[in-house]
Amino acid sequence: PSSGPRDEAATASRLSHDVVIVGAGFAGLNLLRRLRERDFTVVLLEASDDIGGIWNTNRYPGARVDTEGALYQFTDKELWEGWDYSQLFPDSAEIRAYFDYVDSKLDLRKDCRFNTLVTAAEFDATTDSWRGETEAGEALTARFLVMATGTTVTPYQPDFAGMDRYRGTLVHTACWSDDIELADRRVAVIGTGASGVQIIQSAGPIAKTLTVFQRTPNLALPMYQQDFDEAARAEIKRGLPDRYAMVPKTFGGIDYQFEPGNALDATPAEREDLYDALWAKGGFKFWMGNYADTMADPQANAYAYEFWKKQVRRQITDPAKVELLAPTVAPHPFGAKRPSLQQNYFQVMCRHNVEIVPVKENPIQEFTERGIRTADGVEREFDLIILATGYDNNTGAMNAIDIRNADGRRLKDKWAGGVNNYLGTFTNDFPNFSFLYGPQSPGGFSNGPTSAELHGGCLAEFFEFLRDESISRFESTEEADLAWTASIEEIIGDMLFSKVDSWFNAGNIPGKHRQQLQYPGGIPTYLEHWAAERASGYSTGLVLG
Ligand code: N01
């Protein structure tokens, strides 16, 4: 509730902006655009030197998106009709070029401030506004603060013994710099998630030696990369309106659905036919286009794993690496960790200059001056060690900022024992504060640009409602936050995602409260929740004042 009568006009004139957005990726830029159209005064603060979010910072060799480029863009005709990606799965440089293109159309950079790290933000209950502080000591005030800080941003670096002793080059994939050479060097990669798979594909063919410290094999799926000529580009463009029309109707905000039937109800021949067809299509279709029970029923999931194993083992040319890369017994339910897309990963892993060290059986004991010693006592020497060890996903970027409510309570402390949000957007006790693509939103389970547009669209509409109704303050109720968390737990309880530690459930970070951090109900259901909230005048899970 509001703290009492106040002079709205006087308060507004004291605020530097209606809205401060933090983060210039798809989510932040989309919201900037949508709020500008509604005549809000908005500034977007970005820690790095340009727009593009993680695509501006992720520059390691091989970094590319694993959503088809056709869907990895904004969906309004004004933008897509003038843009073509050159490949089915564009690389990070081409996605940066896309952001340049968007800016050339929409002039977004003019409302962004780059190299502007937000270090703190505090809510002021007397003015119902936020005061943010930057690293340079600048203060900004706004009615509403929106974190569009991304979900895969804050690098996670395990605490290996002796790391500071190592004299070679040590780099996390998120911190890559262009002067790092792979060619003819003795390279180590720790981690085989999406980042690991991509950098291994780049390093293996050119490094002198490549040693991969693998804890869990990646159940990667075929990418089937394609280069597009002009005719292919034109054909893709013709299909875009229909594909975009599907996006809000699918679980992952993409252009295909899970197969309606269940694997358990299909005959072996029917299953094989569908698996063959999905495999041939490539991309995530074998995951998010598979039988509906694949992510829920252990037997259905086991069928999928057996097929995956059969396909992948055909690509493994070194018999000594078969069990390491495609084990007889599934390392975890297929798809419960986010699979990667691979182009020639298994071939690269089978090269003579590539060694796989299974660190579950033979853990990294310590870093030495020259390299890494494993528990078996063997020291391997490297010129370059690459940490592809992932991120403090979902909450890392927000927790890095000292965000406090009016009583001085820190968001980070509030979330330390578990995250409770409403709609993955609002959290009780933090008025006029919201976030996009973050914890308990469909973020990690959905296509990024889809989430940016649909989730961001809901938030922009909400802000417009507040302004139209002269409402200066909102927050979610504690009951709504708890109910949202409970609904997530209920849905995920029936799925296999919870059977393995991953960044979906914070299990990738030792000591982090383990909890499902993606909304697993799918985009259509998520949008229905927003629609219900809207229909109630935003009075179901929110308190307006
Ligand atoms: O991180 P990850 P990522 N000792 O957490 C291992 C997006 N993305 O950066 O599986 C040894 O998936 C860890 O092992 P385990 C995409 O959404 C997309 O690769 O925990 N190993 C795992 O192998 C993706 O899902 C693209 O047993 C350790 C790896 O490090 C998300 O970002 C490209 C370890 C971490 O994998 C994260 O991907 C890149 C330790 N102490 C990223 N600690 C696209 O293609 C961790 N590991 C779009």
Per residue in 128-139, pLDDT (tens digit) is: 999 999 999 999
- Please report where in the chains the tokens 């370059």 appear, as a residue: 384
Q: What is the pLDDT confidence band of residue 1, given thresholds at 50, 70 and 90?
A: very low
Euclidean distance between CA atoms 256 and 276, whole angstroms: 17
Q: What pTM, to 2 d.p., does this model score?
A: 0.96
Instruction: Determine whether the shortest distance from the Cβ of 225 to ligand 1 is under 6 A.
Output: no
Instruction: Determine whether the shortest distance from the Cβ of 359 to ligand 1 is under 6 A.
Output: yes
Instruction: Determine whether the shortest distance from the Cβ of 447 to ligand 1 is under 6 A.
Output: no
Mean pLDDT over 501-518 rounds to 96
Tokens of 331: 């390392």
Euclidean distance between CA atoms 241 and 404, whole angstroms: 43
CA of residue 159 to ligand 1 center, whole Å: 16
DSSP 392: -
**What three-state secondary structure class fits 25?**
coil
According to DSSP H, which parts of 38-180 are helical?
54-57, 77-80, 92-106
| Residues whose CB is less than 8 angstroms from the CB of residue 350 and which lie 6 or more positions away in sequence, other chains included | 316, 317, 318, 321
Count Cα atoms within 13 angstroms, Cβ side, for 335. Answer: 27
Q: Where are the beta strands (DSSP E) in 194-254?
A: 209-214, 221-222
* Least confident segment among 7-11, 184-188, 473-477: 7-11
CA of residue 51 to ligand 1 center, whole Å: 24
Nearest by Cα to 142 from 47, 44, 2, 48 = 44
Euclidean distance between CA atoms 264 and 293, whole angstroms: 8
Nearest CA, atom 48, ligand 1: 65
CA of residue 388 to ligand 1 center, whole Å: 6
Count Cα atoms within 13 angstroms, Cβ side, for 454. Answer: 31
CA of residue 15 to ligand 1 center, whole Å: 41
The minimum-distance atom of ligand 1 relative to the CA of 65 is: 48
Contact (CB, 8 A) for 543 and 475? yes
Instruction: Determine whether the shortest distance from the Cβ of 215 to ligand 1 is under 6 A.
Output: yes
pLDDT tens digits for 133-175?
Answer: 999 999 999 999 999 999 999 999 999 999 999 999 999 999 9
**What three-state secondary structure class fits 327?**
coil
Contact (CB, 8 A) for 515 and 393? no
In this model, does residue 523 exceed pLDDT 50?
A: yes
Nearest CA, atom 1, ligand 1: 390
Instruction: Determine whether the shortest distance from the Cβ of 102 to ligand 1 is under 6 A.
Output: no
Sign of CA dihedral 158, 160, 164, 170: negative
The minimum-distance atom of ligand 1 relative to the CA of 508 is: 20
Mean pLDDT over 285-291 rounds to 97
CA torsion, points 464, 469, 471, 476, in degrees to nearest 10? Answer: -70
CA of residue 65 to ligand 1 center, whole Å: 14
User: Angle at CA 64, nearest 5°, toward 148 and 32?
Assistant: 25
Mean pLDDT over 233-252 rounds to 97
CA of residue 237 to ligand 1 center, whole Å: 33
Q: What is the pLDDT confidence band of residue 4, given thresholds at 50, 70 and 90?
A: very low
Contact (CB, 8 A) for 62 and 340? no
Instruction: Determine whether the shortest distance from the Cβ of 336 to ligand 1 is under 6 A.
Output: no
**Which residue among 89, 195, 391, 392 is best mutated to probe the pocket of ligand 1, counting the most ligand atoms within 8 A of its Cβ?**
195
Quick one: pLDDT at residue 10?
47
Tokens of 81: 């009709």
**What is the overall mean pLDDT for the chain?**
96
Tokens of 286: 């074998």
CA torsion, points 346, 347, 349, 353, in degrees to nearest 10? Answer: 180
Quick one: pLDDT at residue 15?
85
pLDDT tens digits for 14-70?
Answer: 789 999 999 999 999 999 999 999 999 999 999 999 999 999 999 999 999 999 999
**What three-state secondary structure class fits 46?**
coil
Instruction: Determine whether the shortest distance from the Cβ of 389 to ligand 1 is under 6 A.
Output: yes
Let me know how long the chain is. 545
Quick one: pLDDT at residue 494?
83
Kindly tell me the burial class for residue 464, based on how many C-beta atoms sit within 10 Å of its own C-beta (0-12, 13-18, 19 or more).
middle
